A = this chain, B = another copy of it.
Amino acid sequence: MKKLKITELNRLTPEEFKVHKKTSLIVVLDNVRSMHNVGSVFRTSDAFLVESVYLCGITNIPPHAEIHKTALGAENTVDWKYFEDAHEAVKQLKETGYTVFAIEQAEGSTLLPDLKLHASEKYAVILGNEVKGVQQSVIDICDGCIEIPQFGTKHSLNVSVTSGIIIWEFFKKLNP
């Protein structure tokens, strides 16, 4: 099978991307330390037409060389917003009709394969700090927690990988 050339991939131009119909999903990063993770979330969000990325707390914002290294320009196509406090972001999202999930391993969390979404609704997911995860007080104001089931020795996945799996699943479920 012949590999496709970049010109054969028929990707959107940045201008086309801006006006293209988006996936009804906002990705919220709360206190994400690594700019590689931030950049990677932008790149994945570009691929699956995420509506916006909200950067909160200590999470760095574009433009930044370290974010660009993994975003490769997706920080310029995907819409983003900064909030000093993730609680404020969640409040605004809920007031404007979004169902907000924290991505966490919590009591009573919904396992990702069991998650039911409705194509007509709007969603936001919150990913937290690399070490501490999503703050308990932020979880407390969310509509629920989503957990990626894991079966090995390590307690969690990398933030880039977690967001990749989550965005991919939301994209599939919202664009059936």
Give A residues with C-beta under 8 Å from B: 1-4, 6, 9, 11-14, 16-17, 20, 36, 40, 43-49, 70, 72-74, 77-78, 102, 104-109, 113, 133-134, 136, 139-140, 144-145, 148, 150-155, 157-158, 160-165, 168, 172
Contact B136 A3 (CB under 8 A): yes
Contact status B12-A152, CB under 8 Å: yes
Counting every copy of the chain, the complex holds: 2
Q: Smallest CB-CB separation from A15: which chain B residue?
A: B153
User: Would B1 and A152 count as touching, CB distance under 8 A?
Assistant: no
Contact call B46/A11, Cβ cutoff below 8 A: no
With contact pairs A3-B105, A164-B161 given, residues A11 and B155 touching in the complex (Cβ less than 8 Å):
yes
> Which residue, A44, A48, A153, A154, has most C-beta atoms of chain B within 10 A?
A153
Asked whether, in the complex, the Cβ of A14 is within 8 Å of the Cβ of B153, the reply is: yes
The answer on a CB contact under 8 Å between B153 and A11 is: yes
Closest chain B CB from A122 CB (angstroms): 19
Contacts of A107 on B, CB cut-off 8 Å? 1-2, 4
Chain B hits for A148, CB < 8 A: 47, 168
Is the CB–CB distance between A47 and B150 below 8 Å?
A: yes
A105 with B4, Cβ < 8 A, contacts A153-B11, A157-B164 known: yes
- Among residues of B, the one whose C-beta sits closest to the C-beta of A12 is B153
